[in-house]
Amino acid sequence: MPVEIPVEKWNGQVHQVKLGGAGGRKELVVGGENTLPFLKFEGNIPHRPAVAIEVVDQPPQGWAEPLVKAWGNVLQDPAAWAKKAAEYGADLISLRLRSAHPEEGNTGADHARKVVAAVLAAVDLPVIVLGPEVAQKDNEVLVAASEVGRGQRLGLGDCLDKNYRTIGATCLADGHVAIAKTPIDMNLAKQLNILLSDLGLPLDAILMDPTTGALGYGLEYTYSVMERLRITALMGDKMTSPPMICTAGEESWRQKESKATAGVPQSWGEQEQRAILWEKITAIGLLNAGANVIVLRHPRTVEDVKAAINKLSA
């Protein structure tokens, strides 16, 4: 019996956002689809979701053993780490300037300049630079990073409602893309896009980070906010139409299920496999919700998620 596949006709479209593509950097375009994730029979999906690998500017504290083992020595050197990430198939690098955190090193603009320059020199992939998640310090190090990467169309974040003017203005001045992060709330996400647009930043210079909840820790909440954002965008609302980026690796590796080595039921199985699964399921869930860039930590997850994207996009 022939089954008729119901096809929805959408008026809107996700904005296309370009990263890199200048100053010797490879070009990566995300977004542009006019249908829900992977529904190729329904609409046009010009670009597959991209996989970013997270790199931290100092040896990360409290990372689970499987991650430390997988990366080994490069954890000491962000440039080498980025290079390795490129070998593992990253489409882009997400560089976290953690050492600028007041309690984790409190480094400043000079350090940020050096690290960013080193990473930019080490790889030709597009790069996202993220601050230490303290608004004041974010501004300090991101403005410095922006200067170093001027014209290379980096991603800069987090751009929050608290500091959007600074980050937005910096992106405008140096031609970067703002990573606009809001706390799992559709209206706030939309509002931040509007505020950035008011500042003069075009919508194709914004990636929305809706804030990720890991599997078991609010994944469904993030999923539904992303779904609503995407459906609204497809219905024609420009202000919800920038592509989305999700930090699946960071969130899932934070959880007990990824970290616990002892004192858990035997049925949980061996840690490494469990943790990678956790990251993978979180990531694939978010891809299905509409993530255009997914940021991961473990090389094996990267491999598996890329394979999943290939299959889903075939």
Strand partners, 93: 53, 127
Angle between helices 164-174 and 186-199 (to 10 degrees): 50
Nearer to another protein, 118 or 194 (CB): 194
* Nearest distance, CB of residue 172 and another protein, angstroms: 5
Report in angstroms how near the CB of residue 203 gets to another protein at its nearest: 12
CB of 248 vs another protein, minimal distance in Å? 22
Contact in structure between 150 and 129 (CB atoms under 8 Å): no
> With respect to another protein, which residue has the nearer C-beta, 196 or 277?
196
Burial 282-302 (b: 16+ CB within 10 A, else e): bbbbbbbbbbbbbbbbbbbbb
CA atoms of 95 and 127, how far apart (whole Å): 7
Considering the complex, what minimum distance in angstroms separates the CB of residue 92 from another protein? 24
Considering the complex, state which of residue 63 and residue 164 has its C-beta at the smaller distance from another protein.
Answer: 164
Please say which residue, 17 or 93, places its beta carbon nearer to another protein: 17
Closest distance to another protein from the beta carbon of 218 (Å): 12
- Closest by CA position to 232, among listed 240, 221, 243: 240
- H-helix segments, 44-108: 65-71, 78-87
Q: Where are the beta strands (DSSP E) in 102-176?
A: 127-130, 155-159
Long-range contact pairs involving 274-278 (C-beta distance under 8 Å, separation at least 24): 275/64, 275/66, 275/67, 276/66, 276/300, 276/301, 276/304, 278/214, 278/215, 278/252, 278/253
Q: Which is nearer to another protein, 44 or 136 (CB)?
A: 136
Residues that bind another protein in the complex, under the rule CB under 8 A: 139, 143, 147, 163, 165-166, 168-170, 172-173, 184-188, 191, 194-195, 198-202, 224, 228, 231-232, 235
Q: Quick one: the chain helix, strand, coil %, rounded to 5?
A: 45, 15, 35
CB of 95 to another protein, least distance (A): 21
Shorter beta-carbon distance to another protein: residue 227 or 303:
227
Cβ atoms of residues 223 and 234 within 8 Å: no
Q: How far is the CB of 150 from another protein (least distance, A)?
A: 10
Structure token digits, residue 123 = 């790889």
- Cβ proximity to another protein: between 117 and 199 the closer is 199
